[in-house]
Amino acid sequence: MKQKNNPLLTWLLTIGFMVVAFLALFPLLNLTLASFRPATDLMRNGISLIFDPSTLTLDNFIFIFTEAEIYWKWFGNSVWISLVIVVLSLLFSSMVGYALAVYDFKGRNFFFLLVLIILMIPFEILMLPLFQLMIKLNLVNTYSAVILPAIVAPIAVFFFRQYALGLPKELMDAARIDGCTEYGIFFRIMLPLMGPSLAAMAILQGLNSWNNFLWPLVVLRSNDMFTLPIGLATLLTPYGNNYDILLAGSVMTIVPIVILFIFFQRYFVAGLTVGGVKG
């Protein structure tokens, strides 16, 4: 018998979700409105919804698009670093997770346990030995120092391993009978089947790389090599705070992430849902 939905419960849930969505979007709305206000108004009234609408101006964004060349240098650095990290992380993490899921080799459980242990350790604890390693490799103030620690992410390895556990092993046996190599099985057969998980993890890794502040701050030294989070932070100094440019730049920073999620949210939800039920 088909169960009837309770209209009252549906309305209550809808209202509740709308309230939660408003609370989540309120800071973004406040930030967006503040980015159109001049610096004098921001210093006088602060970042709040109480302001004179007649003071709204596009000067902050005009300045970014016409005069703030260093901003677009930081923007390009963030885009390039994020793309490289996403591509390499998806490649290597999916290979490791796939191997831990489908191959029975000595020490498999031990290596998976190491992944779980690293996953539970805060990055701040690993940051000092990582920085010492970068010094020994002479990679400080290079993009490689930012990229290398992120190309095999423990959370991505765990996620791909859980997803690969549900892949049909019969396809592997059939491919071996046809003479396909193990690399061929992975890249030509199994990797396409992991498409939803790749899309979901691409968004998560892209977000983490785009918003990463602490590690690039530690290993990067040159102003023209900064990523967006570090570059925007340099706008706040003891000698002057460019809040108007900072807020406008922050809004422009959010735009690519919003566009990315809007176009790929279907794959993101599908990947998380399917990957979460694999045993």
Residue 136 lies in a domain: yes
Residue 54 lies in a domain: no
Three-state DSSP state, 132: helix
Q: What is the pLDDT of residues 169-210, one digit of tens each?
A: 888 888 888 888 888 888 888 888 888 888 888 888 888 999
d(CA 213, CA 226): 10
Question: What's the angle, vertex CA 20, arms to CA 14 and CA 25, rounded to 5?
Answer: 120
What CATH number does the domain containing 216 carry? 1.10.3720.10
Share of the chain above pLDDT 90, in %: 27
Locate 76 and state its tokens.
Answer: 């390009």
Residue 142 lies in a domain: yes
Q: Which long-range contacts (CB under 8 A, 24 or more apart) does 270-274 make?
A: 270/196, 270/199, 270/200, 271/163, 271/196, 271/197, 271/198, 271/199, 271/200, 271/201, 272/200, 274/163, 274/166, 274/196, 274/197
Residue 162 lies in a domain: yes
Domain that holds residue 216: 69-275
Residue 117 lies in a domain: yes
Residue 161 lies in a domain: yes
Locate 32 and state its tokens.
Answer: 């967006």
Tell me the pLDDT of the chain averaged across its residues.
Answer: 84
pLDDT at 261 over 80: no
pLDDT class of 4 with cuts at 50, 70, 90: low
Q: What is the DSSP letter of 55?
A: G
d(CA 80, CA 74): 10
Residue 270 lies in a domain: yes
Of the listed ranges 20-34, 85-99, 118-132, 259-273, the least confidently predicted one is 259-273
Counted domains in the chain = 1
Residue 22 lies in a domain: no
Continuous H helices in the chain = 7-34, 39-45, 59-66, 69-102, 108-120, 123-136, 143-147, 154-164, 169-177, 182-184, 191-193, 195-211, 214-219, 228-233, 243-276
What pLDDT score does 1 carry? 47
